[in-house]
Amino acid sequence: MARTVWDSSVGKKTVMAVSGLIMLLYLVVHMIGNLKIYFGPGEFNHYAHWLRTIGEPFMHYEWTLWLIRVVLVVAVVAHATSAYQLSRRDIRARPTKYVHSRPRASYATRTMRWGGIILGLFIVWHILDLTTGTVHSGGFQEGHPYQNVVDTFSTWYGNVIYIVAMLALGLHVRHGFWSAAQTLGAGSRTRDRALKATANVLALLLTAGFIAVPVGVMTGVVS
Ligand code: HEM
């Protein structure tokens, strides 16, 4: 049964929609949490510490955080695998190849594929930058995310990488949210306009909210 659903295109699209919505929920929370940087190092670092102690004393130190990490990794892998398989299927299903000058897929489809690849690379960079500190520009300090974030956005390439990724994220969420709603059966003649508006507002708020952090550091408001 599960095998049949996974093998069908509708099954893969459902996996994409559900995993996408899980990641979207994480992003909304992450974006709001990041804005605490405007309240200063005390509040921001305290918030990062709280992330590791959620659910205590029932949960041990970092257990809830690890649970969230596992859910996110499963979502990312499921999302990327079904996207790859759907696009392979799409290419194979075409009876004859298009003439070279004609695009292979629609504008939206190509934007989603490139956007997805950019975001996948960004997530790896971002974790190596602000979670493990492997590629971090300053002296990475565990437990002091405020200073680490300020250091990242004190380099030109840090700003470029994050801002480009956040623009890609906005475009990806805008189309992705809409597609997910259609796949999950939320679309209808009367609701489509409201769904499009929701997708636009969500994408805009996420992009603007995330970009507010590098902008804060660049303008010296956060230092
Ligand atoms: C300007 C934008 C962003 C800033 C300033 C930022 C900041 C941070 C910081 C400081 C951490 C480390 C938190 C800690 O260790 O307590 C973190 C972790 C993380 N961020 Fe972001 N983030 C941004 C955008 C994003 C985006 C767009 C994504 C996803 C596409 C993302 C996904 C993650 C993930 C998956 C983690 C790892 C959580 C963990 O396992 O510890 N972030 N971010």
Predicted pLDDT at 7: 86
Q: Does 195 have pLDDT greater than 80?
A: yes
- Which residue out of 26, 27, 34 has the highest number of ligand 1 atoms within 8 Å of its CB and is therefore the one to mutate? 34
Name the percent of the chain lying above pLDDT 70. 96
Question: 156-175 in b/e burial notation, b at 16+ Cβ within 10 A?
Answer: eebbebbbebbebbbbbbbb
Please state whether the peptide bond connecting residue 57 to the residue before it is cis, i.e. omega within 30 degrees of 0.
yes
* Residue 102: predicted pLDDT: 59
Look up the pTM and report it: 0.93
What is the distance in A from the centroid of ligand 1 to the CA of 182?
29
* Distance (Å, whole) CA 84 – CA 190: 32
Task: Tell me the pLDDT tens digit for each residue of 71-93.
Answer: 999 999 999 999 999 988 877 77
Residue 133 has pLDDT above 70, yes or no: yes
- Asked if the model's pLDDT at residue 128 lies above 70, the reply is yes
Tens digits of per-residue pLDDT, 42-65? 999 999 999 999 999 999 999 999
pLDDT confidence band for 96 (50 / 70 / 90): low
Among protein residues, the one whose CA lies closest to atom 32 of ligand 1? 123
Torsion of CA 67, 72, 78, 80, to 10 degrees: -160
pLDDT of residue 104: 66
- Structural domains in the chain, CATH included, are 2-93+106-218 (1.20.1300.10)
Residue with the smallest CA separation from ligand 1 atom 41 is 131
At residue 55, the pLDDT reads 97
80 or 103, which is more confident: 80
The reported pLDDT for the residue numbered 220 is 97
Mean pLDDT of 153-164: 98
Q: How confident is the model at residue 151 (pLDDT cuts 50, 70, 90)?
A: very high
Could you tell me the two tokens for 96? 């004859």
Q: Which residue from 99, 72, 75, 65 is spatially nearest to 17, judged by alpha carbons?
A: 75
3-class DSSP string for the chain: CHHHHHHCHHHHHHHHHHHHHHHHHHHHHHHHHHHHHHHCHHHHHHHHHHHHHCCCCCCCCCHHHHHHHHHHHHHHHHHHHHHHHHHHHHHHHCCCCCCCCCCCCCHHHHHHHHHHHHHHHHHHHHHHHHHCCCCCCCCCCCCCHHHHHHHHCCCHHHHHHHHHHHHHHHHHHHHHHHHHHHHCCCCCCCCHHHHHHHHHHHHHHHHHHHHHHHHHHHCCCCC
Q: Is residue 101 scored above 70 in pLDDT?
A: no
Percent of the chain with pLDDT over 90: 83
Q: Which residues of 64-90 are buried (b: 16+ CB within 10 A; e: fewer)?
A: beeeeeeeeeebbebbbebbeeebeee
Tell me how far the alpha carbon of residue 130 lies from the centroid of ligand 1, in angstroms. 7
27 CA from centroid of ligand 1 (Å): 9
Closest atom of ligand 1 relative to the 213 alpha carbon: 1
In this prediction, residue 22 has a pLDDT band, given cuts at 50, 70 and 90, of very high
Closest CA to 163 of 215, 120, 115: 215
91 or 215, higher pLDDT: 215
| Contact (Cβ atoms closer than 8 angstroms) between residue 213 and residue 166 | no
Q: Considering the chain, what is the average pLDDT of its residues?
A: 94
State the distance between the two ends of the chain, measured CA to CA, in whole angstroms: 55
The Å distance, Cα 77 to ligand 1 centre, comes to 18
| Residues with C-beta less than 6 Å from any ligand 1 atom | 27, 30, 34, 48, 51, 69, 72, 119, 123, 126-127, 130-131, 145, 149, 162, 169, 210, 213-214
